[in-house]
């Protein structure tokens, strides 16, 4: 593929949107990668197809090289010409079925530019490499581990293990000044919460851009941060898995022990049972009581057990006065004093539902057993994106109006449309299983075809005709289905279980080729194992 084909600046992405042909934008912008893409989606619903193709156009336009890293990466786009550690590795992971090279480079770039003492860059931008803050959310160790497993990339695995182990040591040396074993936040940019009431009165970062120090003269610094500590926890869990894969049992045990230790500290020191929320603990050992998405980031790494999560779900996340808005999830609870006055200014984590937050939600909501509610959220986001069509950073959780002061062509928003389309009505690979998200009589599934190439030589297809879905594996019919549910199978098509993904109870059926039909009524989030197939 020629360099000019993928170096289109994000400022051009908006121009592509009006040029999207019905047959699919990847064939127009990046033919070499269209041929090797592992996923294809076609639907008779013009509105959905057009928006989906626009999302691919935005993403293709945001694959670029940077002055200090000359391999193609998926940049943030819109107002952000570069990649950030808090989000770029995760975004690359989501984009891997179309640009595996960019997914890989969205990790390797940070490892290549790691400083000798172990500090990873917070950002790699057109203008500079940023070391002035830590700015981490989704653990780069976790996404590198998942990507290496999905692709069989031994080199990525080895480089990730070395780099992320050094990063963990650096964090404990320079962001553990109070000696608690938790990760401390020194400034607004450490958590990437730009313009958030959480950091009211705290500078974005030190003037000398030294991430080892906190700004002087600011009361309450340094803070013990639940989300930063959760990121370290998730990183250690991933490092343990990497160590096991690399044949390092001693390291595996060490990382598991350290992960359990920081997890216990997060719950003991940074959770307020009275408020049912995780908070920062300032240097005076007082909670900074802003109910924001830091709590959701803690859930993202599966720190709470199910019992604790159920409390968070009832009192906060699924509470329509707090986080369960008509267009979930706001970055600060709607009934929190820190929820910013609407209409929102651009780039604020003090209320709007952020595309980044939406992109991260599948990392935890399904884990805790709320796939049906996530389906509602995904539907709301896709509806909002189709209505606006320009792929911006944030939307009003009450009206779904995107903040127009943000530039269009934002990669996380385009990835939400891409990822959610497949999670709503497509077939996906998860480890050693296939997930068939069967949703007939839905806009995206109107005479639709979802095709997924996996493990290099195999292909799964989900085809819709009327109220029936046909499941295909390597060109052969696996079975037919009606109703709204997820069928989980082994990679060779053996049925494992069904899961209720609809908002209401519904009748479903699955007729495997050559076997008896399964009929049942399934409840939202109900999981039923199959033992007779």
Confidence of residue 532 (pLDDT cuts 50, 70, 90): low
Q: What is the pLDDT of residue 6?
A: 30
Is the residue at 444 inside a domain?
A: yes
Q: What is the pLDDT of residue 338?
A: 97
pLDDT of residue 113 exceeding 90 = yes
Give the H/E segment covering residue 387: helix 371-388
Domain endpoint, select from 256, 288, 304: 304
Domain ranges, residue 250? 154-304
Read off the tokens for 302. Answer: 């599966």
Is the residue at 403 inside a domain?
A: no
Measured between alpha carbons, how far is 61 from 5 in angstroms, rounded to an integer?
Answer: 9
**pLDDT tens digits along 425-446:** 999 999 999 999 999 999 999 9
CA–CA distances in Å: residue 445 to residues 167, 205, 331: 44, 47, 31
Which alpha helices (DSSP H) does 18-139 contain, by range? 26-29, 31-36, 46-61, 88-94, 100-112
Is the residue at 366 inside a domain?
A: no
Residues 6+ positions from 355 with CB-CB distance below 8 Å: 392, 393, 394, 410, 412, 413, 415, 416
pLDDT of residue 33 exceeding 70 = no
Vertex 258: Cα angle to 257 and 262 (nearest 5): 120
Read off the tokens for 451. Answer: 């095709």
List phi, psi (to 5°) of 489: -130, 165
Output the DSSP codes for 176-217: -TTSSSSPEE-SHHHHT-TT-GGGTT--SS-TT--TTSPPTT
pLDDT of residue 17 exceeding 50 = no
Domain endpoint, select from 278, 304, 330: 304
Burial class (CB in 10 A: 0-12, 13-18, 19+), 418: buried
Is the residue at 249 inside a domain?
A: yes
- Mean pLDDT across the chain, nearest whole number? 93
Whether the CB-CB separation of 436 and 471 falls below 8 Å is answered with yes
Average pLDDT over residues 137-159: 98
Number of H helices, E strands in the chain: 17, 25
Is the residue at 425 inside a domain?
A: no
Burial class (CB in 10 A: 0-12, 13-18, 19+), 279: buried
pLDDT of residue 324 exceeding 80 = yes
Residues 6+ positions from 152 with CB-CB distance below 8 Å: none
**pLDDT tens digits along 230-246:** 999 999 999 999 999 99
Is the residue at 404 inside a domain?
A: no
Measured between alpha carbons, how far is 517 from 513 in angstroms, rounded to an integer?
Answer: 9
Confidence of residue 34 (pLDDT cuts 50, 70, 90): low
pLDDT of residue 3 exceeding 80 = no
CA-based end-to-end distance of the chain: 45
Measured between alpha carbons, how far is 335 from 322 in angstroms, rounded to an integer?
Answer: 5
Whole-prediction pTM value?
0.94
Quote the number of domains for the chain.
Answer: 2
Is the residue at 287 inside a domain?
A: yes
Q: What is the pLDDT of residue 530?
A: 86
**pLDDT tens digits along 401-417:** 999 999 999 999 999 99
Read off the tokens for 136. Answer: 């981490």
Domain endpoint, select from 246, 270, 304: 304
């Amino acid at each position: 593929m020629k360099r000019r084909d993928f170096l289109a600046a994000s400022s051009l992405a908006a121009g592509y949107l009006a040029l999207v042909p019905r047959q699919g934008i990847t064939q127009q912008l990046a033919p070499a990668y269209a041929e090797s893409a592992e996923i294809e989606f076609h639907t008779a619903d013009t509105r959905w197809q057009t928006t989906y193709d626009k999302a691919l156009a935005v993403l293709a336009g945001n694959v670029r090289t940077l002055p200090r890293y000359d391999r193609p990466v998926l940049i943030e786009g819109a107002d952000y010409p570069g990649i950030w550690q808090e989000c770029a590795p995760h975004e690359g992971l989501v984009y891997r079925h179309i640009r595996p090279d960019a997914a890989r480079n969205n990790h390797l770039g940070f490892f290549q530019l790691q400083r000798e003492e172990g500090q990873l860059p917070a950002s790699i931008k057109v203008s500079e490499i940023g070391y002035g803050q830590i700015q981490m959310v989704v653990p780069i160790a976790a996404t590198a581990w998942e990507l290496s497993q999905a692709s069989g990339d031994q080199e990525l695995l080895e480089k990730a293990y070395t780099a992320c182990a050094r990063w963990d040591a650096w964090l404990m040396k320079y962001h553990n000044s109070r000696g608690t074993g938790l990760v401390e936040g020194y400034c607004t940019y450490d958590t990437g919460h730009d313009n958030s009431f959480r950091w009211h009165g705290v500078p974005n970062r030190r003037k000398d851009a030294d991430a080892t120090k906190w700004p002087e003269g600011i009361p309450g610094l340094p803070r013990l941060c639940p989300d930063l500590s959760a990121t370290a926890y998730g990183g250690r869990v991933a490092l343990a898995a990497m160590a096991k894969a690399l044949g390092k049992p001693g390291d595996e045990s060490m990382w598991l022990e350290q992960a359990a230790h920081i997890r216990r500290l997060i719950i003991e020191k940074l959770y307020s049972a009275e408020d049912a929320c995780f908070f920062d603990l300032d240097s005076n050992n007082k909670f900074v009581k802003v109910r924001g998405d830091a709590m959701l980031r803690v859930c993202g790494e599966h720190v709470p057990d199910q019992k604790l999560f159920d409390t968070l779900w009832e009192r906060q996340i699924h509470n329509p006065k707090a986080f369960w808005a008509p267009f979930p999830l706001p970055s600060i609870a709607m009934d929190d004093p820190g929820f910013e006055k609407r209409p929102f200014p651009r780039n604020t984590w003090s209320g709007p539902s952020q595309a980044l937050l939406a992109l991260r939600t599948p990392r935890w909501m399904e884990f805790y057993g709320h796939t049906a509610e996530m389906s509602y959220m995904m539907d709301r986001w896709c509806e909002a994106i189709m209505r606006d069509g320009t792929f911006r950073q944030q939307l009003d959780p009450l009206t779904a109006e995107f903040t127009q002061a943000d530039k269009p062509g934002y990669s996380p928003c385009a990835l939400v449309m891409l990822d959610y389309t497949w999670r709503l009505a497509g077939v996906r690979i998860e480890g050693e299983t296939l997930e068939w998200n069967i949703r007939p009589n839905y806009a995206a599934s109107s005479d639709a075809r979802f095709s997924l190439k996996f493990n290099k030589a195999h292909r799964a297809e989900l085809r819709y005709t009327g109220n029936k879905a046909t499941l295909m594996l390597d060109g052969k019919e696996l079975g037919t289905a009606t109703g709204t549910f997820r069928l989980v199978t082994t990679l060779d098509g053996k049925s494992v279980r069904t899961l209720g993904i609809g908002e209401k109870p519904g009748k479903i059926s699955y007729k495997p080729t050559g076997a008896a039909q399964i009929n049942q009524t399934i409840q939202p989030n109900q999981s039923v194992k199959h033992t007779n197939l």
